[in-house]
Amino acid sequence: EEDNWGSLTLEVWQSPPIEGCTDEYADNYNSDAHVDDGSCTGYAYPDNGNYALDFNGENVYVSIPHNDMLNLSEGDYSVGVWFYADSDKPAAYGNEWGTIVSKQHAGPFWYAVGYLDNPGAYWHYVEGIENGASASNLIQYDQWNYMVSVYNGETHTDYLNGQAIFTVPTGGQVVGNNLDFIIGRCNDGEGLGAHPYQFYGMIDKLMLYNRALNEEEMQFNMFSDELYNEEDLVAYYKFNS
């Protein structure tokens, strides 16, 4: 037989929700709030501002694992980038090529773009198609330069700050490989050892396309974080937070 101890009545009191800033990174974060009221202010963390990669030391580079898309071996292509070439380059680097990006090896090179320390020229290299360098004294040291290399199946043209500086008739198709995509140094396929061609300075807004950009697109991309047209965009590295 079960004992009957009577009945118990429970009353539940529900407090009103506490509104406030629920983002713990905001200056006015309220740990008691559980409903965000949109009042968060004064963030203490980077807010996707304007940042760039700084290559200020020997053996400083970025290696992106191989992906077939990065081979750009379907025909036309464009490589766009902002770069800041530092004139105070350590003597250990020598007067060599400063490689901005490369995906190449000791056999057939694929493609690479960069600048020559002396005499301040911009260069591109595409094995199986052609290679060349612009006129001297075009690269502005200690300030930002905007460069786009465009291959349209008939010509390869390099643009500096929106102006064409070097055009060479060419034809063919670039050769792909399975090596990593390197930013800030040459990849020679032998462990980055024989010909590093280290970049010294800063790199920003690197973009790769599987088509030839037109001048209107290049001008727009030069001054905007948003791209004019993302058709056939392979990669876009803004290097922001």
Q: Which of 164-173, 198-207, 218-227 is predicted with the least confidence, judged by mean pLDDT?
A: 164-173
- Quick one: average pLDDT of 130-146? 77
Query: Is 50 exceeded by the pLDDT of residue 12?
Result: no
Higher pLDDT, 45 or 6: 6
Report pLDDT for 106.
Answer: 43
Higher pLDDT, 191 or 87: 87
Question: Which of 6-15, 20-29, 75-84, 173-182 is modeled with the greatest confidence?
Answer: 75-84
Query: Is 90 exceeded by the pLDDT of residue 213?
Result: yes
Beta bridge partners of 114: 99, 123
What is d(CA 101, CA 75) in angstroms, rounded to the nearest whole number?
19
- Smallest CA-to-CA distance from 121 within 108, 106, 109, 137 is with 137
Query: Is the Cβ–Cβ distance between 188 and 195 less than 8 Å?
Result: yes
- Quick one: average pLDDT of 74-97? 75
192 torsion bin: left (phi>0), alpha (psi -120 to 50), beta (else): left
- Smallest CA-to-CA distance from 80 within 241, 240, 228, 197 is with 228
Beta bridge partners of 151: 77, 156
Query: Is the Cβ–Cβ distance between 184 and 55 less than 8 Å?
Result: yes
3-state secondary structure of 204: strand
- Quick one: average pLDDT of 211-221? 92
Query: Is 50 exceeded by the pLDDT of residue 53?
Result: yes
- Quick one: average pLDDT of 163-192? 75
Question: Which phi and psi (to 5°) does residue 39 adopt?
Answer: -95, 0
What is d(CA 217, CA 229) in angstroms, rounded to the nearest whole number?
7
3-state secondary structure of 19: strand
Higher pLDDT, 5 or 13: 5
